[in-house]
Amino acid sequence: MGVSHDDLDSVSAVRQLAVARHLPAFLLARVGNEHPALARSVQLFVDAANSAGLDISVVDYLEGQHGFDVVDDTERSRELVLDTVAFFRGHLLESHQPGSSTVG
């Protein structure tokens, strides 16, 4: 039993951007040493998110590889992990401040 193109399309991140009503801010760490097909799909997602006017932050780690946060113990990978924590803290705490609106 194989997976059809329609099945894959139904779970596509790009497709979900097109049908979603409310989405949180995104942080995407893009690496330079990525499989070409995955790198293309990441770029499609970034383009779709930008076209939809979504709040997306993209950081590039040109020397990085997929899973850098687990396998690369470098100054840059540690910096990106800390930046990711700061991103989520800022967005999660910001949405729970008195008087702020939250997306429901």
Mind listing the pLDDT tens digit for each residue in 44-92?
999 999 998 999 999 999 999 999 999 999 999 999 999 999 999 998 8
Q: How far is CA 64 from CA 42, 61, 69, 91, in A?
A: 15, 5, 9, 25
Q: How far is CA 91 from CA 14, 29, 33, 41, 61, in A?
A: 22, 16, 29, 25, 22
Residues in the chain, how many? 104
Tell me: pLDDT of 103 over 50.
no
pTM of this structure: 0.74
Instruction: Cite the DSSP H helix spans in the chain.
Output: 5-10, 13-19, 36-51, 68-71, 75-94
